[in-house]
């Protein structure tokens, strides 16, 4: 089993979108028994809340279901469980690197490192903007998700 955790600040916009988009890809490839997917926030502002309704709506338009996701905060224990801890931006990386047991820091990276069609290495926070921000976030995330699945398949026998 390969375990992937997506992390953003609030766990209501970017990381649930990444969780839903990557899970859809995993299911399309019949790999749901091999790859586990989850998301969390660096902060606890939205614990147990569903994702932002704008994120849910933008994702639903692409047949990505975010409705069962609930907010939670990332903690040190996540570093034992997950193989890939994928941050949406550099602030998230800094925060996670402080929380991580030192020997586990190598598990943290920027999710956009797996993108091939975008030069940007951070997924912009759409929280304070309009609907178009959520669609752009989805475009970026779907591209990086494809690269991530390719990486997992090349490194692990799945």
Binding site for ligand 4NP (CB under 6 A): 8-14, 45, 125, 127
Q: How far is the CB of 145 from ligand 4NP (least distance, A)?
A: 16
Q: How far is the CB of 64 from ligand 4NP (least distance, A)?
A: 15
Helix or strand (DSSP H, E) at 143: helix 131-155
Name, in order, each residue with C-beta under 8 angstroms of 59's C-beta and a sequence gap of 6 or more.
Answer: 17, 20, 21, 65, 66, 138
Q: How far is the CB of 56 from ligand 4NP (least distance, A)?
A: 12
Catalytic residue among 13, 14, 38, 89: 14
Query: Is 13 assigned a catalytic role?
Result: no
Q: How far is the CB of 153 from ligand 4NP (least distance, A)?
A: 27
Q: For ligand 4NP, give the closer residue by CB, 34 or 49.
A: 49
Which residue spans within the chain are E strands per DSSP? Answer: 2-8, 35-41, 84-87, 108-110
Residue 84, SS3 per DSSP: strand
Which residue spans within 17-145 are E strands per DSSP? Answer: 35-41, 84-87, 108-110
Query: Is 3 assigned a catalytic role?
Result: no
CA distances from 81 to 37, 38, 106, 154 (A): 11, 11, 14, 21
Q: For ligand 4NP, give the closer residue by CB, 2 or 39.
A: 39
Q: For ligand 4NP, give the closer residue by CB, 101 or 129.
A: 129
Count of residues in the chain: 158
Catalytic residue among 70, 72, 121, 125: 125
Query: Is 14 assigned a catalytic role?
Result: yes
Q: Looking at the annotation, which residues are catalytic?
A: 8, 14, 125
């Amino acid at each position: 089993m390969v375990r992937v955790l997506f992390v953003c600040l609030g766990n209501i916009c970017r990381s649930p979108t990444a969780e839903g988009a990557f899970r859809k890809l995993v299911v399309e490839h019949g790999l749901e028994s091999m790859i586990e997917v989850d998301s969390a926030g660096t902060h606890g502002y939205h614990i147990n809340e569903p994702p932002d309704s704008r994120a849910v709506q933008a994702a639903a338009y692409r047949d990505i279901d975010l409705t069962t996701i609930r907010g939670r905060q990332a903690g040190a224990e996540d570093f034992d469980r997950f193989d890939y801890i994928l941050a949406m931006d550099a602030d998230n990386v800094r925060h996670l690197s402080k929380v991580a047991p030192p020997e586990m820091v190598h598990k943290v990276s920027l999710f956009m490192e797996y993108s091939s069609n975008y030069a940007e290495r951070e997924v912009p926070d759409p929280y304070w903007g309009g609907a178009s921000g959520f669609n752009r976030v989805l475009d970026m995330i779907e591209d990086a998700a494809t690269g991530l699945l390719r990486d997992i398949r090349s490194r692990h026998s799945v």
